[in-house]
């Protein structure tokens, strides 16, 4: 079955190819699909100016059980993609924030999206 993809589908599929290439670049942490989904969710909230707390992230049921999400947060912290900031008024509250390495990761993905978009114009 050899179908011609629409320009939008072609752009997105090209983006996926480029994103995979970015993820396999040497010296970049290897994220599995679940870690990537968690990082994406954390990034959306961080970018909106309301980073999730560890407890809020553990409540993201679509990403796994609280214990599983907590292990994924620990892995993202270990590989330097997220860190925590303590709340000034309550040190029990830890907000998850992106590190410069995570911002660079999204920068590379953004460049891949731009490249895919440029290739289909």
For residue 18, pLDDT over 90 is answered with no
CATH of the domain at 32: 1.10.10.10
Domain contains 97: yes
For residue 118, pLDDT over 70 is answered with yes
Domain contains 113: yes
Domain contains 1: no
How many Å apart are CA 73 and CA 38, to the nearest integer? 8
Number of domains forming the structure of the chain = 1
Q: What is the mean pLDDT of the chain?
A: 86
Domain contains 55: yes
Backbone angles phi, psi at 43, to 5 degrees: -65, -40
pLDDT at residue 1, rounded to an integer: 42
How many Å apart are CA 11 and CA 16, to the nearest integer? 9
How many Å apart are CA 50 and CA 52, to the nearest integer? 6
Q: Which domain holds residue 63?
A: 7-120
Domain contains 47: yes
pLDDT at residue 102, rounded to an integer: 94
| Least reliable range by pLDDT among 11-20, 53-62, 72-81 | 11-20
Both structure tokens of 58: 């553990």
Domain contains 77: yes
How many Å apart are CA 11 and CA 19, to the nearest integer? 12
Q: How far apart are the first and last CA of the chain?
A: 26
Domain contains 42: yes
pLDDT at residue 2, rounded to an integer: 52
């Amino acid at each position: 079955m050899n179908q011609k993809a629409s320009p939008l589908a072609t752009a997105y599929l090209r983006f996926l190819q480029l994103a995979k290439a970015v993820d396999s670049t040497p010296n970049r942490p290897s994220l599995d699909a679940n870690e990537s989904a968690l990082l994406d969710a954390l990034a959306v909230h961080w970018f909106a100016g309301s980073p999730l707390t560890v407890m809020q992230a553990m409540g993201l049921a679509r990403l796994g059980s609280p214990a599983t999400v907590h292990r994924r947060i620990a892995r993202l912290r270990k590989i330097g993609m997220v860190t925590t900031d303590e709340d000034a008024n309550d040190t029990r509250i830890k907000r998850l924030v992106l590190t410069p390495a995570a911002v660079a990761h999204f920068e590379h993905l953004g460049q891949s999206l731009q490249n895919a978009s440029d290739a289909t114009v």
